[in-house]
Amino acid sequence: MSADNLAGPEAPAPGEGDQGRAPGAAAQAVQQLGQTTVPQSESNIFCMTIIGQIEGHIVLPPQNKTTKYEHLIPQLAAAEQNPKIEGILIVLNTVGGDVEAGLAIAEMIASLTKPKVTLVLGGGHSIGVPIAVAGDRSFIAETATMTIHPIRLNGLVIGVPQTFEYLDKMQERVVRFVTSHSRISEARFKELMFKTGELTRDIGTTVIGPDAVKDGLIDAVGGIGDALAELNRLIAQRKRLAGAGGALQ
């Protein structure tokens, strides 16, 4: 890899192409492509993948495949700020991870002003659930699963009532986020979270694609095609609204 690759994509923004090209570029385009308008290879959609463990305040040992929140957060800020990016697709296949980091990513996604669509492929478990519901519209693959279970104690355990109150508060943050960003009711989400007899090592529930939609956790069952089509629809809708707003002024 050369240092040139590190400078970032230098392709001109849509609409700026003609000014950015060298004088002979149009003739070259006619020779090579048979037309003067060169197809733009740069996408207006930013695809963000959230995989493995969501790594937060502690660096995890190397056997974990991780998504680092300190990279995703400025990445989302850059996507929000970059005028070439018109929509964000978030693809999840995560086993969960750090509560603080997961909620921070979910809050960042939810507060983006650009259209954003989430897609759960494989799994969106534990703290992956708030991230999965953070978009404007959420999709889940037919076979993908989401495990909803309580937050467990780990690290130094102090046997005082405050420990449990603290955990309860942490859990309440997750419940509040999920119920305010999806159609699931608090009662139903907690029912799934505290269900016994489903998981071998824990209490909780594993919901598979269509069940997640039936419970109102996710908006629709679908794959990458459905998610991209919806994102493009939202982008077009946003442009229309911006155009209408401009016309009124």
Partner 1 sequence: MTFHTILPLEIVLDGIDDPRRMRRTVEIRTAGMLLEVEPVGDGFGRIVRLLDCPLDAYLNPALNPGNLIRMP
> Which are the catalytic amino acids?
126, 149
Q: Which residue has the tokens 């090209």?
A: 21
Residues between 64 and 83 that touch partner 1 (CB under 8 A): 64, 68, 70-71, 74-75, 77-79, 81-82
Shortest CB 4 distance to partner 1, Å: 9
Residue 22 to residue 14: CA distance in whole angstroms: 16
Site size toward partner 1, by CB under 8 A: 51
Q: Which helix (DSSP H) or strand (DSSP E) does residue 214 occupy?
A: helix 209-214
Give the C-alpha separation, 190 to 209, whole Å.
19
The yes or no reply on residue 200 touching partner 1 (CB under 8 A) is: no
Sole binder of partner 1 in the list 25, 44, 45, 100 (CB under 8 A): 100
Q: Does 102 bind partner 1 (CB under 8 A)?
A: yes
Q: Rank residues 99 and 231 by Cβ distance to partner 1 and give the closer one.
A: 99
* CA–CA distances in Å: residue 28 to residues 15, 22, 40: 19, 10, 15
Within positions 112 to 151, which residues make up the interface with partner 1, using CB under 8 A? 123, 125-127, 147, 149, 151
Check binding of 104 to partner 1 (CB under 8 A). no
Q: Which residue of 62, 83, 161, 225 would you call a contact of partner 1, by CB under 8 A? A: 62
Q: Reduced to 3 states, what is the DSSP secondary structure of residue 36?
A: coil
Residue whose token pair is 């929509």: 87
Q: Is 33 in the site for partner 1 (CB under 8 A)?
A: no
In sequence order, the 6+-apart residues with CB closer than 8 A to the CB of 227 are 89, 117, 118, 119, 139
Q: Exactly one of 13, 33, 59, 241 binds partner 1 (CB under 8 A); which one?
A: 59
**Distance in Å, CB of 96 to partner 1, minimum:** 3
- Asked if residue 179 lies in contact with residue 148, where contact means CB atoms within 8 angstroms, the answer is no
